[in-house]
Every structure is written in C-alpha cells, then in structure tokens.
Structure 1
Amino acid sequence: MTRRHFRNFVFFPFSFLVVLITIIWIATPFIAKHYLTAYFTEHDKTLSIENLSVDFFPPKIDMKNLTLTDQTQSTMSLKHAVFEVRIWPLISRTIHISEAEIDGFNITVAQQENDWIVAGINTAQYINKEDIKTEENSETSDQKESAPWKIELPVFSFTNSRLSLSRQPNLTAPAELDEISLKALKIKDLSGEGLQWEGDITLSALVNQASLSLNSQFNYSPELINADITIDKTSLSIESFQHFIPAPFNAGKGQLNLDSRFQFEQKQVNGVVSYKLKNLNFSSTIKELDLELNDTDRVTTDATTLALTKASVHFFSADKLEASGLLDLQSKQSTFSQSDQTIQFSQLAFALPIDVKRNEQGLTANIENTTLEINDLLAALDNLDVDSKALNIGLTDVAFSMDPQEAITASLSSQIQSKVLSVKQAENTANYELFNLSNTLSLTKGKDILSAQNDKLSIDIKGLNALQGDGKSLSLETAKLTVEQLLADIQLPADNQFEPETQQAAPILTGTNINFSSQMLDVKMADNKRMAEWENADINELSFTQQDETFELTLTQLAIIGLTLSEALTTTKDEQALLPLSHIGKITIEDIAANQDGAKINTIVTNSLKVNLMIDAEKRIENLVFVEEKKQASLTPTLKGSTSPKNTDAEVIIEGTPDAEQNPAFKAPYYVILNTFDTTGDSGIYVQDNSISPTLQRSLEIDTLSLRNLNTQDKEQATVFELKARNGKYSTLTSDVTIWPLADKLTMKSELVIKEAELPPYSSYIANALGYQINSGQLDLDLKLNSNDGVLDGNSHVLLRKFELGGRKESSSVVSAGAIPLNMAVGILKDSNDNIDLEIPLSGDINNPEFGWTNFMILPVRKALYSVSSSYLMQTFVPYANVISIVQFAGEQLLKVRVEPLIFEAGDNQLNDSQDVFLQQLLALMRDKKDSQLKVCGITSYLDLGYETPPKSLDADTQAIAKTLAQDRSNHLKDYLVEQGITSSRILLCSPEIDLSKSSKPRVVLTF
C-alpha cells in the first residue's frame, strides 16, 4: 500500500470518524439536556441537571444532581447515577455492565382514583401508546427468536433513595401517604442468559417507620432454583401500615421484629417439581401488641417471640414430604379477651422439635423433647375461673406413624407439673398446691381394633381442697397413684368408623398393678357435718379387667389408718362436741378377688374399732350426718322376713321361665366369701340415748369380735361368729353363733351368756313390754337357741337378782287396772334371797306369718312369770268369786281381773232376793278395797221392752222409757251401797244405755 492509499483509505476516514465521535460525545449531553428539558417543560415541570456526561469508549453515562420540580415542590431528584458498559463483550453477545450506581434518587408517586402520577406526570396519557407497542411486540414475538444475550453485572448499588407514595382512590377521602426509603440496594456478581440467572442481592430499606434488611444469593434456571436468603434487622409497626390493614385491626398497636435465614431450592426432574427449604432459622418478635380482632375480641402482649431454628422442609408432593426443625414460642404478659371471657398469663414458653416424613411407606413423625411452660395463668370464662401459678408440660420420645392402609402407631412419654391451681365454677371451687403426672402412652390402630396403652402412670397431688355451693367439701393433704399399665382395646366396625348405631363389641379395659396412697382426707357435707376422714389410706396391687358389665378384679391389700365416719361437728365454742358415729384406728383388707357375680375376701382386720350411737330426744341419731334429720326413720326395730332372693329362688325362676335370659328383672344374689374378720385393740360401742329419762350412757368394750368362713355361695358352709364384751368392770357378754347363711330356711346354733347385767339403765326400752319401769335388778342369762330349717328350739336360764318393778303394789290398783300387774307376779316369785330363777323354753317357726321376734323374746318371760303366780292370784280373789273372775288369755301369757255385771229380771228396776249373794260379796269387796272406786252403768235390754227379738230401731218415746229404766237400776244400786256404809263419792254413775244386741241382758255393768 502506497502512502497515498494509506492517507485516502485509512488516515482520513479514521480522522473523520474520530472527529465525528468527538463531536457527538461533546454534543450528546447538551442535546439530551435540551430534549429532556423540553419534554418536562411541556408538562409544566422544570428540569435541572448539574452534570451529564456521556462516554463512548467505553460506553458510560454519568449524571449528577438531577432535579425535577413543579410550581410548588420537587417531584424527582437524583444526586448521582453512573452506568458503564464494556464494548468487547458485546461481540460475543454479552452485556457487561462494569459500573452501575444510583445514589440519592427521590421520586413522588400519587394515585388519584384510576390515574397514576409519577414525578408530577400523569401516566394516563401513555396508555394508548403502550397498547400500540404491545401489538407491535406481539407481532415481533411471532418471528423466530434469536439466541439470547448474556448480561453480566459485577456490582450495582442503589443507595439513599426515597419513594413518596400518595394514594387517594376516592377523592372524597383524605389521601394516604407512605414513604419508602431505600438505604441500600446492592447487586453483586449478577449474570444471566435467557432464563438462567445468578447473583447476590443486599437490601436495606424503610417503609414509613418500618425497617427491612435482606440479603440473598440466588441461582435461577427452569430446572433448578437455589437461593440463600437472610432477613435481619427488620422492624415493622402496625402504626406504619394502618391504612393498609382492614378495620378493626388498623386501630391496633405493636411492633414486629423479624430475623430469618434460609436456603431455598426448587428442582424439576422429568416434569416433577420438588421444593426444599433448609438451614431455616426464623425469629419473629411482637412487642407492645394491642390488637382488636372485632368488637368483643382483643389480644395484647408485652412481648411474644416465635422462633424456628435448624429447620428444613423438603416437599416432593402432597404424598411425599420431609420436615424437621425446632419451634420455640416465648410470650410475656399476654391477654386474650372475648366479651366477658379473658385468658392471660405472665409467661409462656413452648418448645417443639419437629421431624415429619411422608412417603410411599406412610407418614412418620418423631419429637424428641417438647416442653410447655405457663406461669401466672388467669382464665375467666363462662361460669369458670382458673388461676394457675405455674404449669409445665414435657413430652419426650413422641413417635407417630401411619402406613398407606391407615394403620396408626403412636407413642409418647409425658411429664406434667402444675403448681398452685384454683378453679371456680359457679359456686363450686377447687384448688391444690402441687400436681405431678408422668406416664408413657402408646396407641395402635389396625384394621379392626384400636388399642391404647398407658405404662408407668404416676400421679401426685398435694394440698387439694374442693368446696361445692351446697356446702359439701373435700380436703386432701397428699395423694399418689401409680399404675404399671392401663390398656384399652376397642373393636372397630367393618367400615373403621365410630358410629353409635353400629353393633360392635364393648371396649376391653385392663389395669395392672395399681397402687394408691393418700394422707389426711377430710370429706364434709357441711361445716358441721363430716362424712369421712382418714389419716392414711393405701391400695396395693390392684388389677382389673372389664368389658361392659363383666369384670374381674384383684386387690392385694387395702389399708386405712385413722378412719372416722359420720361426725357432727361444732361450729361455736359454746356447743358441745359429739363423738363420731364410728372411728377405726386401722382397717386392713387383704386378698380381694371380685367379679360381676361376687367377691372373695381373705381377711378383714379392724384395730381399735369405736362405734358411738348418739340419740337425741326425738329418737334421731345425732351423729348420723348422711341422712337429713327429717328423713331419719324410727329407731324402733321391725324385724321381718327377708325378701332377698336365695339361690334356690334363682334356680326356680331360671329353670321355670323359658325366657329368663331375656328378662333382666331378676338377677341372682351377689355372693360374698369372707374367710376371716377380726377386731383387735381397744374396741367398743358407746350408746348415749337422750330420748329416755334418765339419759342412758353405756359403753360396751369388745375383747373379741370375729367372723369365720362367711360363704354365701356354698349351702353346706357354716359361718362362725364369736363375741366377747364387757360393760364396766363386772358385766360380761359372750356369744358364739354358727349359722348356715345360704340355707333355704334359718339354720343355726347359738349360745349367749350374759353375767351381772344391770337392768335399770335399760328400763325405758322394755317398759312397754313389761308394763312397768325397772327400779333395780341384775340379770344373768344363759341362752341356747338353735334353728333347723326355720324351726326354733332352745332354752333360756334367767336369774334375776333383787328385781324390783316400779308402780304401786296395793290390791286396789290391781282392781283398777283390770289386769294383774307384773310387779305383783314378780313379788310372788322371789325366793328367800330376793332372786328369781326361771327356766324358759323357747320354740317357734319363723316362717309362720304371725311370728315376731319381739313376742318371741319378751312373751316367754311374761308367760313364765304369770304361769307361776296364777294359782296364787286365783286364791286371792276366791272370797269374791261371784263378783270377780280371773281370766287367763293371750296364750296364757296374761291374767286379767274381770268384774261380773249385776243381772236384773226383764222390766224390773228393783233389787231382789236373788241378787243377795252378789250384793254381799260386792259390799265386802268395796269395804276391803277402800281406795277403789266403782263405776255403775245401767243398761236396758230389748227384753225389758217386751220384744222377742232385737228390733232394728226404737222411736223416741220408747228410748226415753228404756233410759229411765236403766237409770233407775243404777240409782237403786247406789242407794243400797250408801245405806250399807259405802261413801257415795266412791260410787260413780254413768249415762244409761240401751243394748239391742241378741245376747244382751238387763243389767248394771260394774267397773273398778
């Protein structure tokens, strides 16, 4: 190439190009400013740019201090912006932005109805143009796409910028103002080609007063998305977003602090998308929250923190996922209120580790250790108030699995501790100081059965108190329950659903090795009525199995120490305390086996058994608190035949009734088998009866009280009862009874021996039967009584020492009473030592409807007394045989004095010679019994009126005649006795009477 050629084809073109580029480079800023200024001037805006620099080698734009203003204020400003692109990468279709920076960019945006005004320019004017461009772009998109360009951006910074947003969708409402401040937005190592991008983004911004900080590294492609995201120093307040929040939530207050870091991965393999979230550490704290949910619901909290750490989630599909992590919730001074219901607490802490997997083998979940702690809990709900000082719940080794056939297996171990809890419901209250529970629970659900198993259950409670509104109360110092195993097996219906109408087997419940102990139990019906109290109670090795009404139970030992039953308490200092109905120093029951048909007990031992019977003036048991006073039945014993069915009855009914199995009205008796019952220690019975005068106060000290071989299942088994007791120092009672309780009719052998029993204290109880009070006397009784199939046979040897009955012994009282008094008979029977010695045979058939135990015991004594003394009494009244006759009646158990009437001739009212013997004996009796008074009643018979048979009625005149006749007979007899020296005041006349009975006779009836 010649020099001319070089100059014409190289130098000059190159020089021209350099000059042209230089001119463009120098002119471009001015041209750009000119057109930009002209554009904004058309919109009544003023644009100023302090410096605008455009470079071509390499391409670079540098702008400083751009300001866009309208008549009143700045609508957009830019402190500094620079963009630089490298040229050489363009050859390889790569846009490499070597430098990109925006600093101090401020812009105002306003929404007015449907118009958006950006930097003071209404964008509505560009809508049509945008539509045209969209159509052009759609046509271009139909052409074949070329290879995508690659973009590289090593660093991009967007700092100290602000967006002022004003929204006024409705011009009648005030505008809503928001300000978004971008402290820093940095993008590093951003590169992408087509749909594949990667880079690092850091963001720090303010929205109103809310701060946001974000850092993310991402890698994006259609097949794989990876992102490492960090959110920290983020603080959001409700006040900053009030106009974005719907009512009534926008009236709330509070601040949310958010910190989070996680890695996100989205992968697509063979058209299947999976999501993975790993290394998730999330923490959110709400402070000073006061939020109204609606007109009645409100939530407040001083500080609540929710944290999720070391978490990961891998989601393949709804049927395949994995999740793990630790969820932690902390809350302080929080309140939830709804209408008149409120729940609040000072502190709540909840920690939940999560490990969940679901795949083609089923669903599994494992939780290593979960804790819940609530302090100072207060709950005021409908008719329920709860106050808890501290509640701690811990769950360990939680495991759950479900296979594709929905067979379920679950297990967990739990620890629950509650301190100082009180509950109030209406007028009922309950509280305790400490409650502890620990157990291991497992659940298995198969195709046709559901099993729940509870192992190593332990429950402790201290300081329990409960009070009902009706005055009933319970207090318990300590109690502990341990259970080795509880098992429930539930048969599922064919469709594996629980429906009440579905016919299915009843659940099977099983308990193994249950132990219970308690101290200081006190149960009251009211402040002045104690139902039961004990110092200590233990249940050892209780096991049971139950299905519907069928059950089996075994118990090694039941022991209660210091048991008090039914005690009337004093409410004031002036009241005198009553003894409890029963107090047992210790009761021990060993080796119990029971089922729905009966119970077997090996031994029962009571130590220091005390029974106190306190009877008030109305014959009510004062220290019996289980029954209201007005409902207490009479204490008078009424012994009747038993109406309880026996085994023979059951056999007859079952064998004789074809549909007995379908008829549930009859059930065979519940059998009881007791090998041994003993009472030891200082035992006794005390009776205080204020219903009699003088008050009875007697104590019976028990030396021996035992029962052997009680068996209501074996007809051939005899039961032996033995009693040895003392009353005071000298009176003793011994009883030995052998009875066959299952015999069809009463079968027994018994012997009762009483020595030196003082009788006066019991006078009031037997006064009605004897007819007299007992003034003195001592009893020795040797009773042998046997029964064979209900037929009683026995003998009673009775020795009465110095036996004296109250009442007068004069003969006049005998005549006045009409019956021979028992005290007279007693006096007749005494020997030279003032004793009465009787042998009394006893016999009777208890199956006889007329048989009664009272008559069986008392009447033989009366009969013995009267039988021995009857001959003497007959001789006593021989001189007055025409006037007085002795009648023996009531099975020869009573003697009665009967005064014969004075008989008249029909129609006669005068005394005659035929009556002389009667009148002389009557006159002698009146002179002998000077204290007696005689009642004289004249009676007219139908014979006096001339009738052969008694008429149905009499007219008034006939009645007057008849009564006059009867009255004359009474007058004439009184006149005779007065003429013979009998004081007239001793002779009492009664109203005349008419006797129309068929056997009536004209007479005067005499009564002493």
Structure 2
Amino acid sequence: KASAAVSVAPLQIENDQGQWLGWQRLEIPALHVSGPETPDLRASQIRFTDLLLSRVRQAGDAPDAPPLFQTKTLTLTDLVADDSSLQISDAGMNGAHGLIALDSTGQLATLIPVPDASGESPPPRESTAENGNPAPESDPAPRESDVSAPLPAFALRIDSLTLDNESTLQFRDAGVQPPFERTLFFEHLRLTGLQNTSPSAPAHLDTAFSTDAGAQLSILADLTPFARPPGFSVQLTGQQIALPRLSAYLEHTLGYQIESGDLDTRVTINGHADAFTGTASLKMTRLDLKGRPGSTQSASTAIPLDVALDQLKESDGIIELDIPFEHKAGESDVGLGSFVALIMKKALYQAAKTYVVNTFVPYANVVSVVALAGEQLFKLRFEPLPYDAGQLLPQRPQMDYLAAMKAVLEKRPTALKLCPVALPDEADTLSADDIAKLPEDLRKLPAVRVLTQKLEAGIRGEPLALAFADARAAIFRYMAGFSGLSGKTFISCGPVIDTGAGQPMLAFRVD
C-alpha cells in the first residue's frame, strides 16, 4: 500500500491536428494505491483546473479554434478505480463551456478528426425527406436490444454529474442558410445514476437553461444510454421560444419562412433511438409565415399563422394545439427541422381560412390606423422608435414613447412584434468595458451577455451590430416590464441591418 499527495503542473497532449487534452493543474490531496499486481486507486478528491478537450489547429497563422469543451474546474470526489472498473461519487464542473460546431457537411468541426482504417472521411449528412414525408418503409434490421447483452468489459458508475450556473453550451450549424447559432446558459444540470452494469436501469437528468434569444427551457429525462438501442423518456418544457431563429430548419419542409412569433411548448417523448412516440402541446402567438425567396409564391401571400388557424385561435390571438407524433423503425432519421415542421404542418392543415382584424382607435403621437389594401379591415400601426447611432440604453425620448405606448396598450391590449434595426458599424466603437458599466440586472440579460462575448472575441461590423440591436431590444423589453407591461406584450422579431444610411430604431408591428 502507498499514499501520496499529487500535483501536476500544466500539461498538453496534442498532435498535428491540434490539442487533444490539457490542463493548468491537476491536484490530488491524497492518492491511495494498493494491490501487489493490479493497482487499486482511491482518492477522496481529484481537481482539474482549466481543463480543455479537443482544440483544432487552424491552417496558416490563423488562431486555434475554440475548444470542443473547457471548464474552469472539474472536481471528482470519492474515486475508486482498477483495471476493470471506475466509480465516481460526484463529478462537478464550474464554468464549463462547450462548443458544438457543425460544418456544411454536418461533421463536428470542433472535434479533432480521427481517420478510419481506410483513410476515408465520414460521409456527409443526408437531407431529411422532402416536405417532411417519411422515407419509404423498409424491413428494419433486427433490434440489438432483443439479444441478451453481455456484461461490459469495463464497469463505469458515476453517481452524480453537475454543472453550475456559470456554464454555457454554444451550437453552430453551417449546414443551413443562414447559418444557425445559439447559446444556452445553464441554470442547473444534474445527471444521476449513470452506470453500464445494468443497461436497463435509467439515469436521471434534470436541467434548466435559457438561450440568447430569451427562451426558457427545462428537461426532465430518464435515459438508458448503454442499452441497445439507447432508450429515453423525456419531458421538455419551453417558454418564449423565438421561432424566427429556427426558420432555416423549416423553410424547405414548410415552403415558408418564419417571419416572427413566439412558442410555448411541452413535449413528451418515449421510446428508443430507432422508434419513439410522443405528444407536443403548442401555444403559438402571432406566428407569421411568408414565402421563401425564389419560391413561386408572391410576397403578397405572406400570412400570419393565426389566419390559417382561425378555427383554433382564441380571442387573444393565441393558438393552442396538442399534436401527437411517431417515428417508426426503418424510417429516415428525424432531425430538428423535420420534427418541428411535421408538428407545424399538422397544425396548418387543421386550419380554416378566415380572419378578422380588430380595429383600434388611433393615438396620433404613437400609433395610426391604416386600411389593408383591398379589404374593409384596419390595423393599428405603431410608429418606429428611433435611437441615436451607438445608443444602447433608452433615454428621455424613448421613455416618453414607452409611457405613451403603455397608455395605448392599457386601453387596447394587443401583442406587438418588436423588430430591432441597426446600422452596419454603429457598435464598432463599443468595448466590453462599456458593457461592464451597465447595471448588473442589464448585464445578465441573455442578449447582453451574447453582445459581451462578441466584443471580447473582437467581432466587429454587421455581426456585432446585429448582436447590439438584439441587446438594445432586450433592454427596452426589460424596461417595459418595469413600467407594468407584460413580458409577452412583445413578440420576437429578428434584428436587421439598415444599409441605406438610415437611423437605428425599434420597429413595432401588429397584424
């Protein structure tokens, strides 16, 4: 038997593709080793500082890409290991950051590539079936779960795995147009009961997170990742999901772009990786569709979804649906686009075709009433709210506008589309230090956090201006909440750049 304290200085393991693994420090206060031939390792605590996994090296003098995963600290408690097993009581991560970046072929660009024996690259991903229709049925291969699984050669057990509320996960997909990007900010994540000696015994996942678009989501799940095939029972709840951000995944299947709208949802899924069933409860608010660029539909066919779903909508313009879905063995893989599009399409085909727009009394200082061309209908139009170039916080003119808007909405409640407009380079003089001077409650807004990340990364031009416009809209929405307006008064609308040397603004629309 032997015992020792272990401290390992910075370490990097790399090859010509990049860095596989690295840390600034590894500390083991007390490592116990026993056994004459096969070592038995025990440690009450193992602590990694600035742990990094898979940083791909870029060509030429370009800086290395962000890593697949990094964490400020990883602390393992009550570890026991030998040549056939590993047990960990708790694995806790603080300040963890992951980056899942898919290239145009669907391959994970942040993972250092490992060629197979033939030296061939993995095949590119295939598109889902056109218009969301399943592929023709074929005879499915025998399910491996029908065969008794042998005990694993190496036994793994992790009683608890946790992430703190400073952890994030960024997702990028270059395989859709425009490229999709989303950042998740974890409130908590806890995975318990992960082990492979009893594959049918589920691990339990409990997590909640927000996104840089203001959505709030939570997941409760029972998972059997070591079963063959892996199984799951998942319940997902989401609020204020900005659907325009998912438009790139839905355009081909639906034949429409999503112009604006928010979604509250509750989804349950049960089954295995090759076959599952579920139900999606949807609550949609002012979801507007318009024809894709280059499609045969004219721009005049742009419709709000509550027109098509008139029979299902309530007086407040909210549409609620319960949509069952199923994926059978042998069908094509279900991706995010086909999954959401299938649900949306089912809702669309249940709809009627009539619509009545409520008329509003105009308030000249903020709104006007305009007639819809060719119809005996009217709509309320809010005038744009101008900002100075580079102005992030609302000043007296914006607060006066907000007060007048509140008076209008108290008399005529309705939901407004909030659409931020920016100039191409108006945020180029901004720095992360400027954001640090904001009040703490504003700095914590997801859109402001994303703006800070882009500033720290040295991003400039239109990508920064779009993030700046999003942050400006988020702060206005936050201030509106303090004035007494509900957070659901405003419906998400993606930021745009005004290339005509106009003026930054927040545009408001009601259809």
Gaps of 5+ in 2: 129-139, 355-511
Residue correspondence of structure 1 range 497-516 to structure 2 within 5 A: 512-513=2-3, 515-516=5-6
Report the CA distance shift for 1:790/1:571 in structure 2 as closer, same or farther (over 3 A).
closer
SS at match of 2:111: coil
Matches within 5 A, 1:571-586: 575=62, 578-586=65-73
The answer to whether residue 186 in structure 2 is matched with residue 702 in structure 1 is yes
Aligned equivalents of 2:63 and 2:161: distance in 1?
Answer: 35
Q: Quick check: 2:291–2:302 contact (8 Å CA) kept in 1?
A: no
Change (3 A) 1:641 1:763: farther
Distance 2:325 2:22 in 1: 45
Please tell me whether residue 865 in structure 1 is matched to residue 347 in structure 2. Answer: yes
The equivalences for 1:804-883 within 5 A come to 804-807=288-291, 813=297, 827-830=307-310, 831=313, 835-843=318-326, 848-850=329-331, 852-854=333-335, 857-858=339-340, 860-862=342-344, 864-869=346-351
**Matched residue, 1:625:** 112
CA apart distance, 1:606: 1.0
Shift of 1:710: 1.9
1:723 aligns with 2:230: no
Aligned to 2:494: none
Matched, 1:524 2:14: yes
Look up the match of 1:773.
257
The 1:672/1:572 distance shift into structure 2, 3 A limit, reads: closer
Question: CA–CA distance in 1 between the matches of 2:59 and 2:229?
Answer: 50
In 2, the alpha carbon distance for the partners of 1:622 and 1:734 equals 27
Query: What does 1:197-346 correspond to in 2, within 5 Å?
Result: none
Find the counterpart in structure 2 of residue 751 from structure 1: 235
CA distance in structure 1 between the aligned counterparts of 2:339 and 2:172, rounded to whole angstroms: 24
* Distance in 2 separating the partners of 1:808 and 1:763: 10
In structure 2, C-alpha distance between the alignment counterparts of 1:723 and 1:778, rounded to whole Å: 22
Please tell me whether residue 764 in structure 1 is matched to residue 253 in structure 2: no
Q: Is contact 2:223-2:233 (8 Å) kept? A: yes
Contact 1:518 1:537 in 2 (8 A): yes
Q: Partner residue of 1:712?
A: 196
Counterpart for residue 736 of structure 1: 220
Equivalent residues of 1:826, 1:865 under 8 A apart: no
Aligned mates of 1:693, 1:748 — CA distance in 2: 31
Matches of 1:851 and 1:805, distance apart in 2: 27
Structure (1 or 2) with the greater strand fraction: 1
Give the C-alpha shift of residue 678 in structure 1. Answer: 0.6
Pairing 1:391-402 to 2, within 5 Å after superposition: none
Q: Distance in 2 between matches of 1:743 and 1:690?
A: 32
Task: Give the conservation status (yes or no) of the 8 Å contact 1:734–1:754.
Answer: yes
User: How far apart are 1:823 and its partner, in Å?
Assistant: 7.0
| Partner Cα distance (1:541, 1:720) in 2 | 30
User: How big is the shift at 1:740?
Assistant: 5.0
> Quick one: distance in 2 between partners of 1:685 and 1:770?
29
Amino acid aligned to 2:124: S
Of the three residues 38, 47, 55, the one matched with 1:559 is: 47
CA distance in structure 2 between the partners assigned to 1:644 and 1:555 by the alignment:
37
After superposition, the Cα gap between the structure-2 partners of 1:756 and 1:579, relative to the gap in structure 1 and judged at 3 Å, is same
Q: After TM superposition, give the deviation of residue 564 of structure 1 in Å.
A: 1.8
Q: Give CA deviations for 1:80-124 in whole Å, capped at 9, x if unaligned.
A: xxxxxxxxxxxxxxxxxxxxxxxxxxxxxxxxxxxxxxxxxxxxx
Instruction: Report the alpha carbon displacement of residue 860 of structure 1 after superposing the two structures with TM.
Output: 4.5
For the residues of structure 1 that align with 2:142 and 2:85, how far apart are their CA atoms?
Answer: 20
Report the structure number with the largest CA radius of gyration: 1
- Aligned pairs for 1:10-409 (under 5 A) are none
Deviation at 1:576, TM superposition (A): 5.8
1:553, CA displacement in angstroms? 4.5
- Cα separation, partners in 2 of 1:746 and 1:529, compared to 1, 3 Å: closer
Q: Give the whole-Å Cα distance in 1 for the aligned partners of 2:296 and 2:121.
A: 46
Shift of 1:799: 2.1
3-state secondary structure, aligned to 2:350: helix
1:418-429 to structure 2, matched below 5 A, reads: none
What is aligned with 1:679? 163
| 1:198 equivalent in structure 2 | none
The AA in structure 1 aligned to 2:148 is: T
Is residue 646–residue 668 contact of structure 1 (8 Å, CA) maintained in 2? no
CA contact (8 A) 1:774 1:805 kept: yes
Alignment CA distance shift 1:681-1:824 (3 Å): closer
Pick from 262, 279, 282: which aligns with 1:795? 279
Give the root-mean-square deviation of aligned CA atoms.
Answer: 4.4
Question: Quick one: distance in 1 between partners of 2:296 and 2:106?
Answer: 36
CA distance, structure 2, for counterparts of residue 618 and residue 854 of structure 1: 14
Partner residue in 2 for 1:649: 149
Shift of 1:542: 4.5
Matched, 1:587 2:77: no
Aligned letter for 2:78?
Answer: D
SS of the counterpart of 1:649?
coil
Separation of aligned partners in 2, 1:598 and 1:790 = 30
Check the 8 A contact 1:615/1:689 in 2, yes or no.
Answer: yes
Using a 3 Å threshold, how does the CA distance of structure 1 residues 775 and 679 change in structure 2: closer, same or farther? same
Task: Say if 1:682 and 1:643 are closer, same or farther in 2 by CA, change over 3 A.
Answer: farther
1:589–1:725 distance in 2 versus 1, CA, 3 Å:
same
Contact 1:592 1:602 in 2 (8 A): yes
1:263-292 Cα shifts (integer Å, max 9, x gaps): xxxxxxxxxxxxxxxxxxxxxxxxxxxxxx
The alpha-carbon distance between structure 1 residues 649 and 513, as it changes in their structure 2 partners (threshold 3 A), is same
In 2, the alpha carbon distance for the partners of 1:565 and 1:745 equals 27
SS at the partner of 2:182? strand
Q: 1:713 to 1:567 in 2, by over 3 A?
A: closer
Structure-2 separation of matches of 1:637 and 1:670: 37
CA 1:792–1:669 in structure 2 vs 1: closer, same or farther (change >3 Å)?
farther
1:21-66 C-alpha deviation (Å, 9 max, x unpaired): xxxxxxxxxxxxxxxxxxxxxxxxxxxxxxxxxxxxxxxxxxxxxx
Distance (Å, rounded) in 1 between the aligned partners of 2:80 and 2:246: 43
Please say if residues 542 and 556 of structure 1, whose CA atoms lie closer than 8 Å, have aligned partners that are also in contact: no
Deviations 1:143-168 (A, max 9, x none): xxxxxxxxxxxxxxxxxxxxxxxxxx
1:612 aligns with 2:99: yes
Distance 1:624 1:558, change over 3 A: same
Aligned mates of 2:45, 2:142 — CA distance in 1: 33
Distance 1:568 1:803 in 2: 40
Equivalent-residue separation in structure 1 for 2:339 and 2:191 (angstroms): 25
8 Å CA contact 1:684, 1:701 repeated in 2: yes
Unmatched tracts of structure 1, length 5 or more: 1-484, 486-511, 651-666, 815-820, 874-1008
Q: Please tell me whether the aligned partners of residues 290 and 302 of structure 2 are also in contact (alpha carbons under 8 angstroms).
A: no
2:24 aligned counterpart, secondary structure: strand
Q: CA deviation at 1:754?
A: 1.1
- Displacement of 1:851: 7.5
In 2, Cα distance between the equivalents of 1:795 and 1:732? Answer: 20
| TM-superposition CA deviations, 1:208-235 (whole Å, max 9, x none) | xxxxxxxxxxxxxxxxxxxxxxxxxxxx
Cα separation, partners in 2 of 1:760 and 1:734, compared to 1, 3 Å: same
Task: Report the CA distance between 1:777 and its aligned residue.
Answer: 2.4
What amino acid sits opposite 2:52 in the alignment? T
**Counterpart-to-counterpart distance in 2, 1:686 and 1:538:** 29
Q: Which amino acid aligns with 1:857?
A: F
Q: Percent identity?
A: 18
Q: What letter is aligned with 1:840?
A: I
CA separation of 1:617 and 1:726: change in aligned 2, threshold 3 A:
same
